[in-house]
Amino acid sequence: MKNYCIIYLIRHGETDWNIKKLLQGHADIPLNEKGKTQAKQLAKKFSKIHFDSVFSSDLIRAIRTAEIIALEKKLAIITAKALRERNFGKYEGKSWIQGKISKLITKLEVKAKINKKDPFENDDMLMSRFTTFLRETAVAYLGKTVLIVSHGGPMRRFLLRLDPERYKKELGRVSINNLAYFKIRSDGTDFLLEEVFGVSIKR
């Protein structure tokens, strides 16, 4: 029987910038109290799942979420820049409107092409670093189960790759809620989406 790695890919808990609908990107914004409570609730839900390792974006909102979930499991958190949110450059801290995030990203991509010094990450750049990390982790942990805490941006784009038939036309309205997660089976090459929790489509 072929070995697979089971990945639980999770979005961090709520921050004050989430409430204010501000682009966080690489800005290091901490969890608020609700975010900590959300992480504790998910920790209870995952209490009977054995994780062999825990990975997190190196931004504090993701690290703290991972720490809370992994607390009872006594596992060290391994951080990685590859799991960070999209870099929005000078637009970090600016407001965005639900349902128009895809249009905004397209507009920023055009501006970044004109201004080569703009650090904004397009979809290809974002997915390149993100999926490379997931593939390498899956290969290293075949036959094992890992927890990975990341961000809404890369998870939204990755969901399109996992299930394009369902999400391609809806991507602009897909909301990856705080503490949403995907359960994924991977051999390091292919990804099979087994479970989705906390994802909604705004109408």
The span from the CA of 42 to the CA of 47, in Å, is 8
pLDDT in tens, 83-125: 999 998 888 888 876 545 556 666 665 555 545 555 678 888 9
Active-site amino acid positions: 12, 85
**Residues with pLDDT less than 70, the chain:** 1-2, 97-119, 168-172, 203
For residue 149, how many other CB atoms are within 10 A of its CB? 31
Q: Are strands 145-150 and 77-80 parallel, antiparallel or unpaired?
A: unpaired
Q: Which domains does the chain have, with CATH numbers?
A: 5-201 (3.40.50.1240)
Instruction: State the pTM of this model.
Output: 0.90
Smallest CA-to-CA distance from 9 within 143, 202, 194 is with 194
Record the tokens describing residue 151, joined without a space. Answer: 């961000």
